[in-house]
């Protein structure tokens, strides 16, 4: 328990100034307490506003009955000198007092608190990052938009449903990335929830507008045309829909003509092929040469594409975790952990990298990678001066409700996070050559909070603990 608190405080201390909240569940917990504090301030603001409005209401009620009486006989009312005096007094000073009351800031810190806290709020990048994480989880675990929207995820404790506005926002973010596949999925989900009667400030026509474009961009003209007609039933004067109607009808007619011409050409080719085959059969019966001498065989090579699994890895445009390095001299528990790893593995820890702790964010993952430096990376760990990464030790510091497995695609193995367990493997053969079967990845966290820590052990100092072998694959 002491170690957990130490890791938490260390990680937060080193990363709190950062704004990419979506990359760490641990850091996002701070936002919950920030929001709780703001809600408390807001409730106090509402209480004070209600008191102020009650005073304004009393003033309004009093003047309402007075002005009704006065305007029934203005001259007679003002003929009374007291009434004339009080009118002057009200308009000269009492209305000014009322103005001050209405404009008075009685928040006692709410506005200032909100202003201060806003500098620590998530940014557009955080919102987009969280949205992309949802889309990544949807694809990875093959979840329907309806399943996610209903909150029907495995291992969920705090079930949360998505509103029409939530689905609409997710679709818009996909649209801004020109991701029309996910735009369609989430705009269709928003439309379904509207059709089912969910109340929302988002109207059907707005949803259909995005959905229509996404469907069109995916080449489905007939569906786009049908949706356009539905839009025009709701809003006959929708300018873009009216323009799309004519355009889609024109394109579909053009497409039908092209398909008809293509079919006609194919029919002609088929008929010619039949005739050519008939002629060939007639000529073959007259040809004295064996048929096999009339042709030659060729070995065709299959078309190749860049394989992201076996090819070079590219850097992702999103970050999915936060890390911190823990040094042995900072806490006795870290020294004990290092010693325990050394006792179990029999490897020297003095030349190993410091213990790294990581907390995964929304949909947090690591793309497939190798821990060791490959031959095309001769300077990967040059600055450390301790050689290549000979082995990896990985601690699981939390249970994960769903997802988050460490997978080794080349050997077909998967290790599921279980608090208090660890996994160890050698990255290098005894010859010093890299073991490419150790390529691994961290699956996205579907539900839960994933904490891990790892120790990368290097070659230097292992000469007598793991002697080099002559056999390459020893």
pTM, entire model: 0.68
Sign of CA dihedral 123, 125, 126, 127: positive
Q: Angle CA(14)–CA(20)–CA(24) in degrees, nearest 5?
A: 70
For residues 97 and 142, membership in a common domain is answered with no
Report strand pairing: 451-458 vs 389-396.
antiparallel
For residues 328 and 432, membership in a common domain is answered with yes
pLDDT on residue 349 = 95
Token pair listed for 224: 């786009």
pLDDT on residue 91 = 78
Instruction: Pick the closest to residue 179 from 148, 146, 134, 135 (CA basis).
Output: 135
DSSP state of 23: G
DSSP state of 428: B
Spatial separation of the C-alpha atoms in residues 4 and 177, rounded to whole Å: 39
pLDDT on residue 272 = 65
Spatial separation of the C-alpha atoms in residues 279 and 253, rounded to whole Å: 39
For residues 326 and 454, membership in a common domain is answered with yes
pLDDT on residue 289 = 31
For residues 279, 283, 289, 292, the Cα torsion angle rounded to the nearest 10 degrees is 10
For residues 109 and 147, membership in a common domain is answered with no
Please state the separation of Cα 428 from the chain's center in Å: 35
Q: Is residue 253 part of a domain?
A: no
pLDDT on residue 311 = 37
Token pair listed for 373: 């430096």
Contact indicator for 217, 195 with CB cutoff of 8 Å: no
pLDDT in tens, the chain (474 residues): 444 444 444 444 444 444 576 677 777 788 888 888 888 888 988 888 888 889 889 988 988 988 898 889 887 877 667 777 777 777 777 788 877 877 776 555 666 777 777 777 778 888 888 888 888 889 988 999 999 998 888 877 777 788 999 999 999 999 999 999 999 999 999 999 999 999 999 999 999 999 999 999 999 999 999 999 999 999 999 999 999 999 999 999 998 888 888 887 876 677 666 556 555 544 433 343 332 232 232 224 212 222 333 333 333 433 467 888 999 888 999 999 999 999 999 999 999 999 999 988 777 788 889 999 988 887 888 889 999 999 999 999 999 988 899 999 999 999 999 999 999 999 999 888 999 999 999 988 888 889 999 999 999 999 888 877 766 666
Instruction: Pick the closest to residue 224 from 202, 201, 208 (CA basis).
Output: 208
Report strand pairing: 422-426 vs 321-326.
unpaired
Q: Is residue 229 part of a domain?
A: no
Q: Tell me the backbone φ, ψ of residue 160, rounded to 5 degrees.
A: -140, 130
Contact indicator for 102, 19 with CB cutoff of 8 Å: no
For residues 383 and 436, membership in a common domain is answered with yes
pLDDT on residue 452 = 94
Spatial separation of the C-alpha atoms in residues 351 and 139, rounded to whole Å: 41
Q: Is residue 396 part of a domain?
A: yes
Residue 360, beta-bridge partner list: 321
For residues 447 and 364, membership in a common domain is answered with yes
Those residues whose C-beta lies under 8 Å from the C-beta of residue 451, and which sit 6 or more positions away, are 7, 26, 357, 358, 359, 360, 396, 397, 398
pLDDT on residue 471 = 67
Sign of CA dihedral 96, 102, 107, 109: negative
The residue length of the chain stands at 474
Domain's final residue, options 190, 218, 246: 218
The position carrying tokens 């799309």 is: 244
Q: Is residue 263 part of a domain?
A: no
Between helices 110-118 and 25-72, what is the axis angle to 10°? 150
For residues 332 and 452, membership in a common domain is answered with yes
Rg over alpha carbons for the chain, rounded to the nearest Å, is 36
The whole domain housing 87 covers 24-118
pLDDT on residue 42 = 87
Q: Is residue 469 part of a domain?
A: no
Q: Is residue 145 part of a domain?
A: yes
Instruction: Specify the number of domains making up the chain.
Output: 3
Give whole-number Cα distances, 412 to 373, 405, 425, in Å. Answer: 22, 12, 15
């Amino acid at each position: 328990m002491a170690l957990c608190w130490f890791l938490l405080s260390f990680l937060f201390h080193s990363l709190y100034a950062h704004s990419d909240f979506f990359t760490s569940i641990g850091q996002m917990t701070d936002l919950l307490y920030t929001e709780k504090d703001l809600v408390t301030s807001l409730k106090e603001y509402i209480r004070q506003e209600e008191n102020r409005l009650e005073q304004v209401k009393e003033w309004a009620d009093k003047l309402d009955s007075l002005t009704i009486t006065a305007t029934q006989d203005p001259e007679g009312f003002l003929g009374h000198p007291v009434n004339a005096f009080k009118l002057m007094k009200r308009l000269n000073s009492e209305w000014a007092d009322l103005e001050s009351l209405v404009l008075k800031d009685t928040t006692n810190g709410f506005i200032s608190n909100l202003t201060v806290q806003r500098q620590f709020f998530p940014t557009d990048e955080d919102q987009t990052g969280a949205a992309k994480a949802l889309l990544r989880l949807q694809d990875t675990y093959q979840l329907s938009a309806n399943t996610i929207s209903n909150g029907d995820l495995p291992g969920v404790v705090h079930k949360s449903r998505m509103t029409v506005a939530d689905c609409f926002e997710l679709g818009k973010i996909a649209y801004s990335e020109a991701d029309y596949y996910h735009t369609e999925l989430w705009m269709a989900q928003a439309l379904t929830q509207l059709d089912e009667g969910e109340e929302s400030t988002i109207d059907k026509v707005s949803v259909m507008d995005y959905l229509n474009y996404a469907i069109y961009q995916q080449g489905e003209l007939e569906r786009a045309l049908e949706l356009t007609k539905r839009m025009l039933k709701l809003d006959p004067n929708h300018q873009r829909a009216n323009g799309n109607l004519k355009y889609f009808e024109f394109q579909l007619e053009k497409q039908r003509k092209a398909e008809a011409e293509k079919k006609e050409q194919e029919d002609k080719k088929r008929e010619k092929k039949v005739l050519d085959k008939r002629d060939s059969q007639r000529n073959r019966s007259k040809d004295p040469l064996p048929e096999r001498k009339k042709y030659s065989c060729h070995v065709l090579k299959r078309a190749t594409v860049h394989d992201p699994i076996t090819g070079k890895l590219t850097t992702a445009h999103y970050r999915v975790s936060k890390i911190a390095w823990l040094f042995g001299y900072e806490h006795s528990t870290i020294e004990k952990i290092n010693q325990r790893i050394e006792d179990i593995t029999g490897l020297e820890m003095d030349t190993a990298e410091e213990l790294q702790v990581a907390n995964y964010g929304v949909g947090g993952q690591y793309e497939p990678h190798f821990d060791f430096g490959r031959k095309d990376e001769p300077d990967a760990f040059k600055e450390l001066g301790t050689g290549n990464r000979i082995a990896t030790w990985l601690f699981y510091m939390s249970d994960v409700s769903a997802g988050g497995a460490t997978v080794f695609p080349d050997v077909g193995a998967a290790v599921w996070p279980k608090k208090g367990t660890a996994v160890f493997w050698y990255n290098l053969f005894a010859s010093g050559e890299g073991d490419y079967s150790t390529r691994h990845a961290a699956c996205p966290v579907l539900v839960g909070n994933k904490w891990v820590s790892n120790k990368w052990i290097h070659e230097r100092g292992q000469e007598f603990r793991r002697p080099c072998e002559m056999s390459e694959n020893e």
